[in-house]
């Protein structure tokens, strides 16, 4: 009796948990109070929130939540819309169930809690019970139960390890000169990650442009979470059995890249800065003299008149049009840097026109925001205003008329001295109005949108090349991205590999880093290694800073020059393979640099820090990046059979090994059953290669298909059907290599195909083409290539030997099948 009285008295003094939440500023979602079902959509009201779940496809479900009624649905990132999907929705007093043929969603009502499950009922992802989603003042966070041994990958341009487990990250686009290998945030925001556990994998895209934070078990052992300083809780849940399909679904939401101009896949030479014009011409002439293939020269800010965008320093560059013509005649395209800051200066045309059109971002009192950057005090175009984008497009016409081929968007985080732009800068935000905290992370995205759309219009039917330092989810629709002002250090080179792999996991296929390092000066060994790795990057640009050592390939001695030239040569021979890989990226978002987690998702070794930098270049090449000082390298070969690129020796998979590292060759292997088209060496992409396509096929035990693609490499005519495409398939069971009928109205640049078979037999392989022996058909010939003379890379180094058979035949547009006996 006394105990009961004590408990009763104690209860009077115990504040209910909900009251504690209210007093602390934490507001939980609470219990479900109302549900409305409508086709592919479920609207839910809870004690403290309004929620809308929408089925976008059988594998994508969107979740929107806010403390107040949901506002207009708008996104700069998402261009996909819900597809008509067979959905069943039912509810009981305790729960709601949404089912597609690929995914189940269970929603508990008391309190609100979401669980995503496979059709078989396995948990893929679920809210953390007791935490779910909550608000602290205007910040909103969703907490997810962290599964045992869960891996987290992607999240765009984030430093640190491949596996994000145990770390936390912030999205706030930042100018981070000479950033460290674990610095966060850096330049761009892609709030999309992939979770992997228990043989399942999923993606979550948190589409909120405010400063956002992701926690993957940092300082806690209970949950992963994502949230933002303002705006809605708005995320897309994606489930597939393969990571490649998760990326495909993510890019179905945020868009696919267009075909890049072919020249942008060639080697690009840059420095901060090449000037005057005589220096630019010296660099171009030296590249040609030393037989270093190259397609681009990039000019940094010193080409401008006192750093003012859309101007030239006439003393350094007296006739830009004449210069671009001379460089064009040598096979070089010119890319120019542009910054968003417009100098406040009467008489400066760009400034005067901007004021006249009233396109600059403003303070609440109507005056223009002014920040200091390279030219001095500047105003900043409001790229969230259609008028601002039209203004920028009009200014770009000047560069187009002068023969400039590429636009490099820099400082577009946006960056100002002090790195602290005020919160009260106001933007148009497509007529909706928004302040700087909501706009900051999409400012760079809308700048590159302006550059892409403006330059596409200004150059009529020529593909623009747009490069950016900053952006948001969806940036792949407009630009390639590079990883900013890195350091000429071994760990930075390997960090760059992880950054590019992470960008690939996050829907951005076209990416690169400053090969050789931007700040400081690389050692000859580091430079050589970096250039080797750079040849296996989607975008290969050599770039160094103003106060650092010159970083052209000839600046490090004859041995390094030879190594560098070998790998740039290899890249140019691989252009048919690389260009076809980019075509695939335009179709399904497939990255060019492929983290091993894409194809070997549940192999724990690929997450190991010893092997996390390994990657696939396209689907054929396994690349092993090592620094410039390590003499003994540890390699992990995933499942399958792997051919040494340089000598054809076979390495079995599921094995770890170590090798002595020389500086002359980067360890690289070819996956069994790979199909690799190559061409003869050219010095730039304006040159026509020899009329034989070299098609390398590596014997294997798995079926493979390669989509071979050509177009004119420069225009948008491919969108009208002017392309050449065919499927090339290898079937080891049928002992056949088949070529589908050609699609598209364009003619191939190659009149002949030389089929080169790797690892089949030591002796000549009997071959039939469309059922007839090759030697009995005048259109075909069967040849053995002497082992001592065969080198698939074209390197001058001796080749140790490989079993190789080659067959040459006419490149017919009809279906064709090559069969062999083995």
| Catalytic residue positions, numbered | 410, 413, 485
Q: 200-224 as b/e, with b when 16 or more CB fall inside 10 Å?
A: bbbbbbbbbbbbbbbbbbeeeeebb
Residue 732, CA atoms < 13 Å, CB-side half-sphere = 15
Q: Parallel, antiparallel, or unpaired for β 95-99 and 296-299? A: unpaired
Structure tokens at 788: 């001592």
669 DSSP β-pair partners: 622, 644
* Three-state secondary-structure class, residue 229: coil
Give how far the C-alpha of residue 666 lies from the chain's centroid of Cα atoms, to the nearest Å. Answer: 23
Q: How far apart are CA 791 and CA 801, in angstroms?
A: 9
Question: Is residue 443 within 8 Å of 412, Cβ to Cβ?
Answer: yes
CA 123 to chain centre: 29
In terms of Cα–Cα distance, which of 421, 465, 459 is closest to 443?
A: 421
Q: How far does Cα 14 stand from its chain's mean position?
A: 53
For 216, residues 6+ apart whose C-beta sits below 8 A from its C-beta are: 146, 152, 164, 165, 166, 167, 168, 224
Query: Measuring CA to CA, which residue among 735, 505, 723, 529 is closest to residue 625?
Result: 529
Burial pattern 7-38, b for ≥16 Cβ within 10 A else e, equals eeeeeeeeeeeeeebeeeeebbbbebeeeeee
Residues 6+ positions from 643 with CB-CB distance below 8 Å:
649, 650, 651, 669, 670, 671, 672, 698, 758, 759
Tokens describing residue 228? 């933002």
| Alpha carbon of residue 797 to chain centroid | 33
Q: Is the C-alpha dihedral spanning 475, 480, 484, 486 positive or negative?
A: positive
749: nearest Cα among 721, 787, 709: 709
Q: Side-chain half-sphere of 614: how many Cα atoms within 13 Å?
A: 25
Question: Which tokens in the block code for residue 498?
Answer: 């992880």
* DSSP codes joined into one string, 170-210: EE-----TT--TT----S----EEEEEETTEEEEEEE---S
| Half-sphere exposure (Cβ direction) of 167: Cα atoms closer than 13 Å | 19
C-alpha 819/C-alpha 10 separation (Å) is 86
Rounded Cα distance between 86 and 466, Å, is 40
**Phi, psi of 567, rounded to the nearest 5 degrees:** -80, -35
Beta bridge partners of 358: none
């Amino acid at each position: 009796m006394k105990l009961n009285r004590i408990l009763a008295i104690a209860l009077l003094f115990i504040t209910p948990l909900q009251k504690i939440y209210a007093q602390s500023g934490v507001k939980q979602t609470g219990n479900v109070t109302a549900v409305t079902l409508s086709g592919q959509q479920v609207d839910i009201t809870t004690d403290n929130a309004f929620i809308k779940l929408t089925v976008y496809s059988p594998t994508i479900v969107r979740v929107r939540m806010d403390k107040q009624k949901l506002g207009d649905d708008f996104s700069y990132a998402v261009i996909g819309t819900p597809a008509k999907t067979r959905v069943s929705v039912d509810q009981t007093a305790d729960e709601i169930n949404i089912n597609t043929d690929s995914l189940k969603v269970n929603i508990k009502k008391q309190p609100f809690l979401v669980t995503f499950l496979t059709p078989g009922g396995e948990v893929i992802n679920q809210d953390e019970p007791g935490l779910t989603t909550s608000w602290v003042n205007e910040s909103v966070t969703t907490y997810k139960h962290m599964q045992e041994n869960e891996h987290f990958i992607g999240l765009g341009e984030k430093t640190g390890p491949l596996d994000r487990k145990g770390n936390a990250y912030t999205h706030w686009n930042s100018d981070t000169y000479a950033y460290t290998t674990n610095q966060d945030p850096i330049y761009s925001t892609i709030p999309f990650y992939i979770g992997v556990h228990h043989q399942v994998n999923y993606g979550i895209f948190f589409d909120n442009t405010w400063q956002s934070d992701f926690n993957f078990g940092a300082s806690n052992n209970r949950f992963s979470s994502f949230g933002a300083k303002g705006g809605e809780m708005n995320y897309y849940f994606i489930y597939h059995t393969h990571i490649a399909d998760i990326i495909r679904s993510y890019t179905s939401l945020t868009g696919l890249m267009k075909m890049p101009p072919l020249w942008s896949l060639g080697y690009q030479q840059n420095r901060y800065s090449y000037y005057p014009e005589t220096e630019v011409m010296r660099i171009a002439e030296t590249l040609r003299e030393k037989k270093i293939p190259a397609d681009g020269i990039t000019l940094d800010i010193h080409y401008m008149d006192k750093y003012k965008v859309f101007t030239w320093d006439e003393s350094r560059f007296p006739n830009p049009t004449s210069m671009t013509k001379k460089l064009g005649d040598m096979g070089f395209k010119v890319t120019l840097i542009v910054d968003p800051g417009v100098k406040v200066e009467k008489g400066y045309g760009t400034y005067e026109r901007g004021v006249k059109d009233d396109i600059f971002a403003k303070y609440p009192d109507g005056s223009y925001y002014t920040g200091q950057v390279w030219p001095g005090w500047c105003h900043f175009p409001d790229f969230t205003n259609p008028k601002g984008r039209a203004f920028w497009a009009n200014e770009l016409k000047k560069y187009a008329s002068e023969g400039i081929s590429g636009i490099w968007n820099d400082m577009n985080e946006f960056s100002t001295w002090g790195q602290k732009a005020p919160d009260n800068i106001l933007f148009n935000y497509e007529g909706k109005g928004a302040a700087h905290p909501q706009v900051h992370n999409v400012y760079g995205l809308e700048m590159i949108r302006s550059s892409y759309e403006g330059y596409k219009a200004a150059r009529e039917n020529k593909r623009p090349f747009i490069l950016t330092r900053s952006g948001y989810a969806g940036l792949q629709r407009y630009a390639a991205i590079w990883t900013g002002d890195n350091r000429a250090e071994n760990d930075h080179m390997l960090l760059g590999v992880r950054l590019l792999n992470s960008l690939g996991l996050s829907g951005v296929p076209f990416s690169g880093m400053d090969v050789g390092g931007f700040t400081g000066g690389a050692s000859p060994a580091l430079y050589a290694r970096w250039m080797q790795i750079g040849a296996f990057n989607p975008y290969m640009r050599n770039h160094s800073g103003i106060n650092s050592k010159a970083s052209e390939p000839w600046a490090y001695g004859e041995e390094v020059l030879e190594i560098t030239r070998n790998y740039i040569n290899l890249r140019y021979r691989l252009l048919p393979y690389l260009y076809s890989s980019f075509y695939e990226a335009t179709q399904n978002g497939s990255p060019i640099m492929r983290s091993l987690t894409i194809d070997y998702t549940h192999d724990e070794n690929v997450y190991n820090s010893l092997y996390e930098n390994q990657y696939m270049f396209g689907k054929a090449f396994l690349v092993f990046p090592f620094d410039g000082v390590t003499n003994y390298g540890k390699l992990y070969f995933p499942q399958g059979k792997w051919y040494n690129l340089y000598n054809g020796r076979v390495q079995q998979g599921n094995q770890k090994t170590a090798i002595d590292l020389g500086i002359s060759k980067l360890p690289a292997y070819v996956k069994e059953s790979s199909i690799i088209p190559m061409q003869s060496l050219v010095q730039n992409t304006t040159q026509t290669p020899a009329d034989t396509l070299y098609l390398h096929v590596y014997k294997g035990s798995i079926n493979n298909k390669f989509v071979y693609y050509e177009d004119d490499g420069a225009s948008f005519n491919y969108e009208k059907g002017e392309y050449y495409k065919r499927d090339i398939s290898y079937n080891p069971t049928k002992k056949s290599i088949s070529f589908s009928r050609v699609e598209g109205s364009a003619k191939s640049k190659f009149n002949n195909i030389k089929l080169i078979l790797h690892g089949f037999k030591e002796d000549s392989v009997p071959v039939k083409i469309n059922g007839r022996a090759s030697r009995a058909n005048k259109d075909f010939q069967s040849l053995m290539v002497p082992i001592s003379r065969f080198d698939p890379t074209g390197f001058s180094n001796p080749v140790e030997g490989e079993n190789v058979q080659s067959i040459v035949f006419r490149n017919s547009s009809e279906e064709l099948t090559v069969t062999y006996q083995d």
